[in-house]
Amino acid sequence: MTGPRPTVLLVDDEPHSLSSMRMALEDEFDCATAHDADTALRKMEEEWVQVAICDQRMPGRTGVELLTELRERWPDTVRIIVTGYTDPAAMASAINDAGIHQFLTKPWHPDQLLMAARNGARLFQLARENERMALEMRYLASSAQSKLDKRRTALREGLGFESLLHSPQSPMKAVIAAARHFASFDVPVLLTGEPGTGRARLARAMHFASLRSDRPFHALNLAGLTDELALIELFGAKRGILPGGVSKVGLAQKSDRGTLFVEGIEHASPGLQLALWRLVEEGSFTPLGGQEVQTANLRLIAGAGVDLARRVAEGAFRADLYYALAVAELAIPPLRARRGDVALLAQAFLDDLAARHGKAAHGFAPEALEFLENWDWPGNLKELQNEVTRMLVFARGPMLGAELIGRPILQAAPSEHGADRSADAALMADGTLKDRVELIEMRILRETLTRHRWNKSRAAVELGLSRVGLRAKLDRYGIADPSGRVHEEEED
């Protein structure tokens, strides 16, 4: 066999028989052993098992009962049973209940056991290749299967995005629209934004709206992790690295055919950055302490709390990893830039917390919402949730008033870092009020027209102007399409 050695789980309550099976297979397979069903289940959680070979007669649960549970929890693992009985009715029951791939009768020959394990490992590999091909062929099939129909329905409805609350005028609207679009394309994604802005929520929503939605979603935050611990969590470790002589399956392997979200990627060391680049570009990785290269078919979504492009320019982050991740780069705005969303989010937090703690609460008094919307929320969503939690704890009625809000928020003046600071240059410029207002107006006009691809009719509707009024302002400020195009349908 070529490539990484497959792992086989051997289950038998007789030590001599267990040792014999291991001796017959260990030249070609990594063998994990268990003397009963409970131990076997723990091994399945620790190892990535391709083939399970189990004796039928064991104390407690029988081999068929164990393999039946394996079929439910790890359906891809090929199941083989060793038995001294060949009763047709029992064999039919085992096939139906446990999905047995092959029966081996006692006494078995080492070559017979080795051939069965080889066939099982090959069947496991073929099943994975077939599933990968099926994922690609679903786009080309003329008659879609019912499972594909469900995935397309979930894609249209944007499963998961409904949990991301925002107002119609929120800057999150454009972010979510872009995320919905990228979700259906199997490309890496980089999510940037301050801590607490909801990068993990957006990553999960993109997973549920993708073709990998019925596969695992795993997440890891690199903040505070040592380089070795991060490598172990992501790529696993061979025996001898961890205390107790156990091996560990990493999240890259667990996320095979699914999505892996790596938060705080700016904290990755140079060595970890190289390993992540290999995972993105080649789909390969090596467990800590191992020599063999393994592969994983996953989608990587990365989260960063800093400007990675600036880190690249400063030489603090690998340029190749940044550009590999930034196929789709989405910047999540902080809560202070989402003034219209605060009331919606606060009410959603309140409903959830009231149900969780069993305390009736209907909403917020208008003056309470005014204070909440005036605060800049440096801790973003988590800080807002904490504040709503404290208000609920001290509330004596179903309507939460401003008196329940923490003193720092009640005493705060309007912040220097308001909802939209894009006009700071104009606000801080020298000149008369008329000149500074005109400067802001020019920027708004140019930005709106650019966003609407210089369609003056649409821009006029958004700005609440007539086409004649908009044209007069453009002539006054000398604003024109930089491409020189003239839209005849608008200029008639």
Residue 420 pLDDT? 39
Superfamily of domain 158-331: P-loop containing nucleotide triphosphate hydrolases (3.40.50.300)
- Is residue 408 predicted with pLDDT exceeding 90? no
Residue 488 pLDDT? 44
Q: Is 141 left (phi over 0), alpha (psi -120 to 50) or beta?
A: beta
CATH ID of 7-134, from 3.30.70.330, 3.40.50.300, 3.40.50.450, 3.40.50.2300: 3.40.50.2300
- Is residue 94 predicted with pLDDT exceeding 60? yes
Residue 164 pLDDT? 85
Distance CA 248, CA 38 (A): 18
Where in the chain are the domains? Answer: 7-134, 158-331, 335-411, 424-491
- Which position has the higher pLDDT, 8 or 339? 8
Q: What is the pLDDT of residues 340-389, one digit of tens each?
A: 899 999 999 999 899 888 888 889 988 788 889 888 899 999 999 999 99
- Which position has the higher pLDDT, 166 or 147? 166
Range from 13-27, 55-69, 392-406 that averages highest in pLDDT: 13-27
Distance CA 429, CA 4 (A): 65
| Average pLDDT rounded to a whole number, residues 393-415 | 77
The pTM (predicted TM-score) of the whole model is 0.55
Distance CA 348, CA 20 (A): 61
- Is residue 419 predicted with pLDDT exceeding 50? no
In CATH, what number does 424-491 get?
1.10.10
In the chain the first and final C-alpha atoms are separated, in Å, by: 73
Residue 407 pLDDT? 72
| Average pLDDT rounded to a whole number, residues 269-276 | 94
Cβ(479)–Cβ(446) below 8 Å: yes
Residue 489 pLDDT? 44
Q: What's the sign of the alpha-carbon dihedral 402, 405, 410, 415?
A: negative
Which DSSP letter does residue 414 get? S
Q: What's the sign of the alpha-carbon dihedral 292, 297, 303, 306?
A: positive
pLDDT band at 158 (very low <50, low <70, confident <90, very high): very low
Q: What is the pLDDT of residues 40-82, one digit of tens each?
A: 999 998 888 999 999 988 888 888 889 999 988 888 899 999 9
Q: Which of 108, 109, 120 is nearest to 84 (CA)?
A: 108
Give the range among 48-52, 127-131, 390-394 with minimum mean pLDDT. 127-131
Distance CA 411, CA 202 (A): 33
Residue 57 pLDDT? 86
Query: pLDDT > 90: what percent of the chain?
Result: 48
pLDDT band at 132 (very low <50, low <70, confident <90, very high): confident
Residue 34 pLDDT? 93
- Alpha helices by DSSP H, listed for 216-259, are 227-235, 251-254
Q: What is the pLDDT of residues 294-327, one digit of tens each?
A: 999 999 999 999 889 999 999 999 999 999 999 9
| Average pLDDT rounded to a whole number, residues 203-220 | 90
Cβ(75)–Cβ(54) below 8 Å: no
| Average pLDDT rounded to a whole number, residues 169-193 | 92
pLDDT band at 417 (very low <50, low <70, confident <90, very high): very low
DSSP 427-479: HHS-S-HHHHHHHHHHHHHHHHHHHTTT-HHHHHHHHT--HHHHHHHHHHHT-
Distance CA 475, CA 339 (A): 34
Q: Is 198 left (phi over 0), alpha (psi -120 to 50) or beta?
A: left
Neighbours of 316 (CB within 10 A): 12
Q: What's the sign of the alpha-carbon dihedral 209, 231, 7, 19?
A: negative
Which DSSP letter does residue 248 get? B
| Average pLDDT rounded to a whole number, residues 253-264 | 94
Neighbours of 46 (CB within 10 A): 14
- Is residue 413 predicted with pLDDT exceeding 90? no
Q: To the nearest whole number, what is the mean pLDDT of the chain?
A: 84
Q: Which of 287, 290, 293 is nearest to 235 (CA)?
A: 287
Strand order in the sheet with 259-263: 217-221, 259-263, 299-304, 189-192, 328-331
In CATH, what number does 335-411 get?
1.10.8.60
pLDDT band at 11 (very low <50, low <70, confident <90, very high): very high
pLDDT band at 397 (very low <50, low <70, confident <90, very high): confident
- Is residue 423 predicted with pLDDT exceeding 80? no
Residue 1 pLDDT? 44
Name the residue with tokens 């917390």: 353
pLDDT band at 209 (very low <50, low <70, confident <90, very high): confident
The answer to whether 7-134 and 158-331 have equal CATH topology is yes
Q: How many CA atoms lie within 13 A of 130 on its CB side?
A: 7
